[in-house]
Amino acid sequence: MKKITSISKEQIAKFSDWTKKWVEIGLSTEHADFDLATDAALRAYKACNLNKPMIILRMESPYGATVGGAIAFEMLKAMNAEGVWSQVESQVESQVESQVWSQVGSQVWSQVGSQVRSQVWSQVRSQVWSQV
């Protein structure tokens, strides 16, 4: 895959529309199509040459995914005495972290990131112009 090192002005101009679209998707309360989502996730694993996950959690909301993942994580830790924990620890942990980051992190990045970038840009611009 070719490394992206720059973007066009046209692509930059579309940021606002794309941000709005994906924040709406991320905050959507419509029912999920789990079969479609599972298929897409498994294709992503394959495209990245990653092993297919042993466990796929299907939750109704980002909150449910976070809580459900934490509960599953704790249940598997409790199985440690049976030797099961060492087999699934890293996979469940990475899935939970991935779900939390994709569902919560991207929302925060979109909402907070644009505000921070705007404030920083405004401050830098005003300082530069005041010195010119």
pLDDT in tens, 14-56: 988 999 998 888 888 788 888 998 999 999 999 999 998 887 8
Query: Is 29 inside a domain boundary?
Result: no
Q: Is residue 88 a part of any domain in this protein?
A: yes
Per the CB < 8 A criterion, the answer to whether 53 and 91 are in contact is yes
Kindly state whether residue 12 falls inside one of the protein's structural domains: no
Q: What is the pTM of this model?
A: 0.41
Note the pLDDT tens digit of each residue in 54-109: 878 788 777 787 888 888 888 777 776 566 666 667 677 777 777 766 666 666 66
* Number of residues that make up the chain: 132
In a domain, 40, yes or no: yes
Domain count, the chain: 1
Q: Is residue 11 part of a domain?
A: no
| Mean pLDDT estimate for the chain | 78
The residue range of the domain holding 116 is: 34-131
The dihedral through the CA atoms of 65, 66, 69, 75 has a sign that is negative
Whether residue 2 lies inside any domain: the answer is no
The DSSP letter of residue 50 is -
39 found inside a domain: yes
User: Is position 119 within any domain?
Assistant: yes
Q: How confident is the model at residue 110 (pLDDT cuts 50, 70, 90)?
A: low
